[in-house]
Structure 1
């Protein structure tokens, strides 16, 4: 691949995930401390990711894939996103904040597919080339956390008390505007299908892959994927708030340990597949969720700080060993005809349905464990996802029969 194009794609990925990591992690700290939200309201804000994931396939399938170049619609969406992010920064209460975050996630989630489309269109061998571009996205997420904690100190006790986390939205708005303008300079990625071609809604949302559920093994995997997203939502929604509340310094920077670990375990994933097989790899991923939440429940920001840091570092195993492994398994079961439909079905089930339920449950449990204003019984909160993840682990271990991944022709 041309070095100039590789640089453009790498910068695109860097900005794409710098934007997401620049506000999503610390929103759980910002909302209760600045806008005085309840756990239920914080859950509503985070659940916008699920609504975005549900709506995204329609934006891509009905608009981006049919009428406009991917790089152009990517630019337009990020420019609109910059305006919405600016409005989020200036919202004075949750009722005015929520419509903007909902609108933002509806237009942001489709960009995750668009950046992949732009990248793949320039690659002769995506299996070899894509990882060297995509890794800059993870680096962007890490840099966002480090900038928030170590350069501007917005998530310090003083910064939180003075409402400085508002600046994370302004920083993201600037980055979104930059990516929006930059997108128009990216290599041309024309529509994939003729605009006059008949629309198949089943292909767009993955309904055509429903027949895969006739396979009992895939059905158990599918149900487990939905269920494991419930404890996952606790981490996304409340980990930052938890670290800030227990006195962990620079929580945004500490959370980037999870992304660093994600890169490491992504590289180790092929070894685990070969050594232990698919089922054991997924079981290790599920076990990591249980261990992480037990560490959170019984750790503290004092002499047991290391337990919290280990819990964050387990993110690589939690995410890669289950979700990335699951994407590979789904791809192998689907065959050429239903690859896109199957991935769409899994995305709707996990980031859509599973996370939507998870955010709601996490908000309810957090509200039920308020000790005083700004203080929660975090031990009780984290025990629930620990038990839930262990139950999913047990059910998957019993009902899923081990099988070798073989790609269908």
Structure 2
């Protein structure tokens, strides 16, 4: 891969995840302070990510893979997304906001697959080359948080009070417009499916991979993957409002520590996987969920602020050791025939169904512990996902029989 193409792909990844990190992290705080949204309404807004994940396979499988170059549809989706982002910035109530965010996430979630498709199409050895391109996405997410907290101070107490978080949508709209235009200059990535070749609904949704559920071990992993998304939803939906409410300085920037830790734990994963095996690796990820939420429950912005920082930094361990390990396990169980279908099914089940349930549960629990003065009993809120994650871990320990899983990159 020549330097020009590497630069193009790296910039594409940077903008793709700058866009996501530029508004999604602080969304909960924006909804509560700018739109006076309840936790239940916030759950609806965050659930649009799940609806986007559910609908994305149709856009990719039935449209992008059959009729259009990936880079062109990527450009169109981001240009339309820029318009929707601009509209979100101008809303003053949740009723007007929701259709825009739903439309946006239905358009954005397919772009996650499209940027990968564009990148992989230019690589001779993705196993070696992709990480050097994808890391710029993580950098983009982190820089978005630094801009919001450190440069513009939109998430400061004064900024939140004055409604400045609406500027995150304007910033994202500009970035989305830039990526939309830039996408048309990316290397050509033609449709994967030849003209005349039939693509069934089963192919698009990866339903052929349902045969894997006959394997008891894979079934237990599948159920655990869906269930662990419930505590994951608590993190996405509640962490920023929680940090803002307890008075932690620069919360958006500090939440970017979670993305930075992803890079660290991704580097540690091969060694841990090889030394301890799949079951212990995934259990370490599950245990980290419980530890993280207990740190949130009993930490504060004063003397125990370090507990909140550690809880955020555990995101890499939580995510990489569970979800990335799970992708490796799914890949080995599926084999060549069902490999793509199995990954698609897991994504649909977790980011689609699992997170959809999780956001609803998070909204119900958060509203339950809303206090008369408008604050929340965060200790009770965070104990719930901590105990839930512990329950999933115990379920997995008892019902998943240890088996050898080879990590090819280890």
Q: Which category describes the TM-score, using the shorter chain as reference length?
A: over 0.9
1:390 and 2:390 aligned? yes
CA distance in 2 between counterparts of 1:217 and 1:337 reads 19
Which residue number in structure 1 is paired with residue 263 of structure 2? 263
| Residue in structure 2 matched with residue 127 of structure 1 by the alignment | 127
Q: Which residue of 2 aligns with 1:206?
A: 206
**Aligned residue runs from structure 1 range 149-160, under 5 A:** 149-160=149-160
Q: Report matched runs for 1:360-379 at 5 Å.
A: 360-379=360-379
Give the structure 2 partner of residue 174 of structure 1. Answer: 174
Deviation larger for 371-380 or 145-154: 371-380
Task: Tell me the TM-score normalised to structure 2 length.
Answer: 0.99
* Match in the other structure for 1:99: 99
Alpha-carbon distance in structure 2 between the residues aligned to 1:404 and 1:55? 34
- Residue 57 of structure 1 and its aligned partner are, at CA, apart by 0.4
Describe the superposition over 1:109-168 as per-residue Cα deviations: whole angstroms up to 9, x where unpaired. Answer: 000000000000000000000000000000000000000000000000000000000000
Distance 1:70 1:236 in 2: 29
- Aligned ranges for residues 132-143 of structure 1 at < 5 Å? 132-143=132-143
Flag structure 1 segments of 5+ consecutive residues without an equivalent: none
Partner residue in 1 for 2:247:
247
How many residue pairs end up in the alignment?
408
- The answer to whether the 8 Å contact 1:333/1:407 transfers is no
Q: Distance in 1 between matches of 2:27 and 2:406?
A: 41
Task: Please name the residue that 1:307 is paired with.
Answer: 307
Structure 2 unaligned residues grouped into runs of 5+ = none
Give the deviation of 1:372 after TM superposition. 2.8
Structure-1 separation of matches of 2:22 and 2:219: 36
Indicate the residue corresponding to 2:44 in structure 1: 44
Runs of 4+ in 1 over 6 A off after TM superposition: none
Provide Cα deviations, 1:17-72, integer angstroms capped at 9, x if missing partner.
00000000000110001100000000000000000000000000000000000000
Partners of 1:370 and 1:157 lie apart in 2 by 20
Which residue is 1:77 aligned to? 77
Alignment of 1:265-344 (within 5 A): 265-344=265-344
Indicate conservation of the 8 Å contact 1:208/1:341, yes or no. Answer: yes
CA contact (8 A) 2:328 2:407 kept: no
Following superposition of structure 1 onto structure 2, how do residues 105-116 of structure 1 map, counting pairs within 5 Å? 105-116=105-116
Question: Residue 165 of structure 1: SS of its match in structure 2?
Answer: helix
Quickly say closer, same or farther: Cα 1:371–1:407, change in 2 above 3 A: closer
Partner in structure 2 of residue 90 of structure 1: 90
Secondary structure of 1:95 counterpart? helix
- For the 8 Å contact 1:278–1:405, the answer to whether it is kept is yes
Q: 1:148–1:252: 8 Å Cα contact kept in structure 2?
A: yes
Which residue of 2 is the match for residue 215 of structure 1?
A: 215
Instruction: Tell me how far 1:194 sits from its aligned partner.
Output: 1.6
SS of equivalent residue, structure 2 residue 371: strand
For the residue of structure 2 that corresponds to 1:370, the secondary structure is coil
